[in-house]
């Protein structure tokens, strides 16, 4: 068995980026441009990160389709969609810088779909006032990750593929390195770094039904929490309204919002277009009033024309559409396999295949459904976490010196609910800022920071634990119990008794985790890999449950059956905070949201 | 519903591979990757498999199912006679790591030899392309890098030439650069001299296995071969090349490596996988 510091592989960098999705890759480019020696670590092969699955597009106020679009309107949409719980500085930087970041991708070789006059085409999406998403059919994430990957490869960065980071090493001055192992050999590796960028994505694997891959195990959130960083807004987990519900093997698989963006209509088993019933009263005037007006909007969009028709009710925000679908199903108006119907088949088949090629394939190949001929069956699926590591908006710095975070793993940008399309732009804007921030921090340090060998050796020994035990539980059984707990007790609708029960069960699961055992050695052993991911999932699951228990109101993606109203007086402008107490237990509290200046307040129409 | 019987290749380099058999309960719509996950979760927690999206978007779960290079996530069990065992094996053209996982790092090395996208100086805000003019390039850019085309390519699979050959995936990538409306580089010499484009004799096996339905041979390889032919056999272009002189090595400054020969067949040769 490989163990002990004398055999330990070590690599030293100015900036170590953990995670090779959009945020990580963009951070690498920025850090390298700033002159840093950069290392990139990712759990999978390069180009396979979760970004590759993003379908709909990148939100940016390029104003190619609607010339009056602007960063100010994008900012307002983002804040309104986030129920004013977004870090306003992040939402501002995001709206202002997204257009330049998108054009930069084109400068690096991306090929977006075009308008009639040859510019980047933009599509409509839920919660966006104007068609705003730069896209390539419904495979935008692939285009983005491949473009960034090519840029990183051309830059000659060290890429450690199929390498899992399990521990951060800290010293008196903050973070100094990381320890993990190479999946292909099972051998441990230590990274010395002046700055570390966490870009590890989300937490979806805490739930049974999710659009997320095995990689989404809350690694960055848990590593940062253990290192002493704050997590904020962890109660806000986005349940995407449209996942596949049938066949069982693909349950939860994402059905892009672009289906609704291109005109898809939601109906219940009785054929009723139910979204009319669920539009929030204060936003109703932003949506079409009749089927006829919605149809006019779709016709204009298909012809890339401007129109005075307002958008269809299906383009309400994701939190709202998810609750609507859940309610329809619960009240007995669902489809045969427990979802609702999403229909785009009333548009010409060629148009549907051109605009939604991968959806066409996905349903044809996996569900025997031709979406140009009939409706899809869809239902909510765990998709994204709005909460995450608390960061400085401008630099991506966490509350731990030397530790930075960008993308889904960071909190604040999306508030209580993320708008579709704002994730890919988030990755670009804050990936770039965080890479630069980390490089600047690294440049301010004289030499390579001291890596405490006691911590390194303890981390390496931790890796051996589950392989050395001669008895204990199978990690897959533990994972199933964790997912069942979160799915049934911390889902779309929450209530105090359930959340208390979830916290109790999570404590039991933590105890069971400490005796988990695996066979089969260290080489590419998925069971062994799962052990450390479960440790991280248990941290983020507890953070989600405790934050949800604390917030006694409903806002955005957080819906409390026992507190159905939004309580601005108590909870408006307050973020939940999760931090590790000195005794090792998880502390939960709140802090005030950073203040908006007068210009931003004016944009969102807030008086105070 | 009945069980499916899976024969799964297990093994590591340097040991004799074996086939473990598993009976997996079948649900409607189940794919081979679901069955492999069931085995991991209930019978063999250490069964090595590479996967990510489970939606045919990432190209990670490439394997050979009853000898056919496939993405396990889109290979439906219902397409097979469940009375017979279904054999699942790693891609044969790449060195084995463990079980169903192979070392595909060679592909990433090949990629580094390709001269990157080289845009013009005009500001990106001024670029204007018609949709119909970019559709071909968008077809190339659909590639999810599953490497099934590399796996099935007989030049690579049988190591016929012993010479560097970039393989179909990277001809698609080069085509995506060469036909990109804003690219200014010329990779024809690289294709002929460094990347071995001449070794492809257009048997179209790559096109047949592409899960993205990219017409690799017709739309990428043949147009590139024509471009190379134009450059080398057109007298005017030949004279121009003589005048301007050939640069040595790829413009990316990295030499294209030969695919290692240590495939999974170094363990017990998988049966039923007709080469």
Digit-coded pLDDT (tens) for B174-184 = 999 999 999 99
Residues of A in contact with B104 (CB under 8 A): 45
Enumerate the residues of chain A whose CB falls inside 8 A of the CB of residue B94.
none
Count CB neighbours of A470 within 10 A.
Answer: 5
Which pTM was predicted? 0.95
Q: Where are the domains of chain B?
A: 3-102, 105-244
The string of DSSP letters for B203-236 reads: --HHHHH-TT---IIIIIIHHHHHHHHHHHHSHH
Q: Is residue A534 part of a domain?
A: yes
Residue B256 confidence (pLDDT) above 90: no
Total residues belonging to chain B: 275
CA A423, A426, A427: angle at the middle one, nearest 5? 90
Q: Is residue A119 part of a domain?
A: no
Is B177 in the A-facing interface, judged by CB distances under 8 Å?
A: yes
Do A485 and A506 contact (CB within 8 A), yes or no?
yes
- Whether chain A has a CB inside 8 Å of the CB on B10: the answer is no
pLDDT computed for residue A605 by the predictor:
85
Helix, strand, coil percentages (3-state) for chain B, rounded to 5, are 40, 15, 50
Residue A559 falls within a domain, yes or no? yes
The answer to whether the CB atoms of A247 and B27 lie below 8 A apart is: yes
Q: Residue A446's pLDDT band (boundaries 50, 70, 90)?
A: confident
Report pLDDT digits (tens) over B123-162. 999 999 999 999 999 999 999 999 999 999 999 988 777 7
pLDDT at B269 over 50: no
Which residue in A has a C-alpha nearest to residue B61's C-alpha?
A: A48
How many CB atoms are closer than 10 A to CB A110?
A: 24
Cross-chain Cβ contact B97/A118 below 8 Å: no
- Chain B segment 120-159 residues within 8 A of A by beta carbon are 124-125, 127-131, 134, 137-138, 141-142, 144-145
pLDDT at A248: 86
Say which range, A142-151, B168-177, B244-253, has the weakest mean pLDDT. B244-253
Q: Up-side HSE of residue A375: CA atoms within 13 Å toward CB?
A: 22
Count of CB atoms within 10 A of residue B248's CB?
7
| B46 in contact with chain A, both atoms CB, cutoff 8 A | yes
Radius of gyration of chain A (CA): 23
Least confident of A3-12, A157-166, B104-113: A3-12
Least confident segment among A217-231, B68-82, B249-263: B249-263
Determine contact: B78 vs chain A, CB below 8 A.
Answer: no
Asked if pLDDT for residue A221 goes beyond 90, the answer is yes
Query: What integer pLDDT is reported at residue A5 of this predicted model?
Result: 43
CB contact under 8 A, A47 and B145: yes
Q: Answer yes or no: are the C-beta atoms of B158 and B201 closer than 8 Å.
A: no
- In CATH terms, the fold of domain B3-102 is Ubiquitin-like (UB roll) (3.10.20)
In terms of Cα–Cα distance, which of A71, A153, A44, A64 is closest to A108?
A153
Closest Cα in chain B, distance from residue A154 (Å): 6
Nearest CA in chain A to B115: A154
Query: Are A52 and B52 within 8 A, CB to CB?
Result: yes
Q: Which of residues 189-228 of A touch B (CB under 8 A)?
A: 213-215
Specify the fold of B105-244. Answer: Fumarate Reductase Iron-sulfur Protein; Chain B, domain 2 (1.10.1060)
Query: What's the rounded mean pLDDT across residues A196-215?
Result: 96
DSSP-derived secondary structure letter, B247:
P
Query: Hey, is the C-beta of B40 within 8 angstroms of any chain A C-beta?
Result: yes
Most confident of A6-15, A35-44, A246-255: A35-44
Q: Which residues fall within 8 angstroms of residue A367, CB to CB, at 6 or more apart?
A: A244, A246, A247, A250, A376, B29
- Residue A205 near residue A527, CB atoms below 8 Å: no
Question: Nearest residue of B to residue A150 by CA position?
Answer: B116
Residues A518 and A475 sit within 8 Å (Cβ to Cβ): yes
> Which whole number is the average pLDDT over A218-229?
98
pLDDT of residue B88: 98
DSSP string, A123-135: E--TT-SS--EE-
Interface test with B, best of A21, A48, A139, A157 (most B CBs within 10 A): A48
- B97 has a pLDDT exceeding 90: yes
Contact A143 B141 (CB under 8 A): yes
Q: Which pLDDT score, from 0 to 100, does residue A53 have? A: 93
Q: Looking at residues A358-380, what average pLDDT do you find?
A: 94
Q: What is the CATH number of the domain that holds A553?
A: 1.20.58.100
Query: In whole numbers, what is the pLDDT of chain A averaged over residues?
Result: 95
Enzyme catalytic residues of A: 240, 260
Tell me how many domains chain A contains. 2
Q: What number of other Cβ atoms are within 10 A of residue B144's Cβ?
A: 25
Query: If contacts are CB pairs under 8 Å, which of residues 118-137 in chain A contact chain B?
Result: 118-119, 121, 136-137
Domain CATH number, residue A374: 3.90.700.10
Q: Using the 3D structure, point to which of A341, A365, A382 is the last residue of a domain.
A: A382
pLDDT, residue A416, reads 97
Task: Please report whether residue A68 resides in a domain.
Answer: no
pLDDT value at residue A205: 97
Reported as type and span, the H/E element at residue A65 is none
Tell me which residue of B63, B136, B53, B135 sits closest to B99, measured CA to CA.
B63
Domain finish residue from A382, A408, A427: A382
* Candidates B12, B41, B142; nearest CB to A523: B12
Task: State the alpha helices, DSSP H only, in B21-86.
Answer: 32-42
pLDDT on residue B250: 56
C-alpha dihedral sign at A325, A327, A328, A333: positive
Neighbour tally for A561: CB within 10 Å: 12
Q: Looking at this predicted complex, what is its ipTM?
A: 0.93
Last residue of a domain, one of A364, A382, A400: A382
pLDDT at position A451 over 70: yes
Q: What is the pLDDT of residues B205-247, one digit of tens each?
A: 999 999 999 999 999 999 999 999 988 877 777 677 666 655 5
The end-to-end CA distance of chain A, in Å, is 62
Q: Report the phi/psi class of residue A23: left, alpha or beta, with left for phi > 0 and alpha for psi in -120 to 50.
A: alpha
Supply the range of the domain harboring residue A529: 465-566
């Amino acid at each position: 068995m490989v163990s002990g510091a004398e055999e330990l592989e070590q690599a030293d960098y100015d900036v170590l980026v953990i995670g090779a999705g959009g945020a990580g890759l963009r951070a690498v480019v920025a850090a390298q441009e700033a002159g840093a020696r950069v290392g990139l670590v990712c759990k999978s092969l390069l180009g396979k990160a979760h970004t590759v699955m993003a379908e709909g597009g990148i939100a940016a106020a390029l104003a190619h389709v609607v010339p009056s679009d602007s960063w100010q309107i994008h900012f307002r949409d983002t804040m309104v969609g986030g129920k004013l719980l977004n870090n306003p500085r992040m939402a501002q930087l995001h709206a202002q810088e997204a257009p330049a970041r998108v054009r930069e991708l084109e400068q690096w070789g991306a090929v977006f779909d075009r308008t009639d006059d040859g510019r980047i085409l933009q599509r409509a999406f839920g919660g966006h006032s104007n068609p705003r998403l730069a896209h390539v059919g419904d495979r935008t994430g692939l285009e983005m990750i491949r473009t960034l990957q090519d840029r990183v490869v051309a830059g000659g960065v060290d890429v450690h593929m199929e390498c899992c980071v399990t521990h951060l090493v800290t010293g008196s001055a903050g973070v100094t390195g990381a320890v993990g192992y190479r999946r292909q050999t099972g051998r441990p590796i230590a990274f010395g770094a002046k700055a570390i960028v966490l870009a590890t994505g989300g937490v979806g694997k805490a739930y049974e039904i999710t659009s997320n891959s095995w990689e989404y195990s809350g690694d960055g959130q848990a590593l940062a929490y253990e290192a002493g960083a704050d997590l904020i807004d962890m109660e806000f987990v986005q349940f995407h309204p449209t996942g596949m519900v049938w066949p069982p093997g693909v349950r939860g698989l994402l059905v892009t919002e672009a289906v609704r963006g291109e005109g898809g209509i939601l109906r219940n088993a009785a054929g009723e277009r139910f979204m009319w019933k669920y539009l929030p009263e204060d936003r109703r005037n932003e949506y079409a009033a009749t089927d006829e007006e919605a149809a006019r909007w779709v016709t204009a969009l298909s012809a890339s024309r401007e129109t005075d028709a307002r958008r269809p009710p299906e383009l309400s925000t994701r939190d709202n559409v998810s609750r609507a679908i859940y309610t329809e199903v619960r009240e007995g108006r669902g489809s045969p396999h427990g979802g609702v119907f999403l229909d785009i088949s009333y548009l010409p088949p060629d148009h549907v295949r051109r605009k939604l090629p991968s959806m066409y394939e996905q349903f044809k190949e996996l569900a025997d459904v031709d979406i140009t001929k009939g409706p899809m069956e869809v239902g909510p699926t765990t998709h994204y976490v709005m909460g995450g590591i608390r960061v400085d908006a401008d630099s991506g710095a966490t509350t731990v010196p030397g530790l930075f975070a960008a993308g889904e793993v960071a909190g604040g940008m999306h508030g209580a609910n993320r708008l579709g399309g704002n994730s890919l732009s988030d990755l670009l804007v804050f990936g770039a800022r965080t890479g630069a921030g980390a490089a600047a921090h690294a440049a301010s340090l004289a030499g390579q920071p001291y890596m405490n060998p006691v911590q390194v050796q303890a981390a390496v020994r931790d890796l051996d634990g589950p392989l050395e035990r001669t008895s204990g539980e199978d990690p897959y059984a533990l994972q199933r119990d964790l997912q069942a707990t979160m799915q049934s007790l911390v889902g779309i609708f929450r209530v105090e008794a359930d959340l208390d029960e979830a916290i109790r069960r999570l404590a039991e699961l933590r105890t069971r985790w400490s005796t988990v055992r695996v066979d089969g050695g260290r080489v590419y052993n998925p069971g062994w890999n799962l052990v450390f991911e479960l440790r991280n999932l248990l941290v983020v699951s507890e953070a989600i449950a405790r934050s949800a228990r604390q917030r006694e109101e409903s806002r955005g993606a957080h819906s409390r059956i026992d507190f159905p109203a939004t309580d601005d007086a108590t909870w408006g402008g307050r973020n939940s905070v999760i931090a590790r107490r000195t005794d090792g237990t998880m502390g939960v509290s709140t802090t005030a949201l950073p203040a908006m200046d007068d210009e931003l307040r004016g944009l969102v129409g807030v008086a105070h | 519903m009945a069980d499916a019987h899976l024969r799964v290749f297990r093994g590591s380099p340097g040991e004799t591979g074996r086939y473990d058999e598993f009976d997996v309960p079948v649900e409607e719509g189940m794919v081979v990757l679901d069955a492999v996950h069931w085995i991991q979760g209930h019978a063999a927690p250490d069964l090595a498999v590479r996967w990510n999206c489970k939606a045919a978007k990432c190209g990670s779960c490439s394997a050979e199912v009853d000898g056919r290079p496939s993405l396990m996530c889109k290979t439906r069990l219902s397409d097979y006679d469940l009375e017979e065992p279904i054999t699942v094996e790693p891609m044969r053209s790449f060195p084995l790591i463990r079980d169903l996982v192979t070392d595909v790092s060679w592909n990433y090395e090949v990629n580094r030899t390709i001269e990157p996208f080289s845009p013009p100086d005009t500001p990106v805000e001024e670029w204007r392309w018609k949709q119909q003019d970019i559709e071909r390039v968008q077809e190339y850019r659909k590639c999810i890098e599953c490497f099934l085309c590399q796996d099935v390519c007989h030049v690579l699979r049988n190591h016929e030439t012993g010479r560097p050959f970039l393989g179909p995936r990277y001809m698609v990538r080069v085509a995506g650069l060469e036909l990109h409306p804003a690219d200014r580089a010329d990779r024809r010499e690289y294709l002929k001299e460094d990347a071995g484009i001449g070794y492809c004799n257009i048997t179209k096996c790559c096109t047949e296995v592409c899960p993205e339905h990219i017409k690799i041979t017709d739309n990428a390889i043949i147009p590139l071969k024509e471009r190379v032919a134009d450059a080398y056999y057109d007298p005017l272009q030949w004279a121009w090349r003589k005048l301007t002189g050939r640069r040595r090595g790829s413009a990316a400054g990295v030499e294209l490596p030969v695919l290692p020969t240590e495939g999974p067949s170094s363990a017990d040769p998988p049966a039923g996988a007709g080469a």
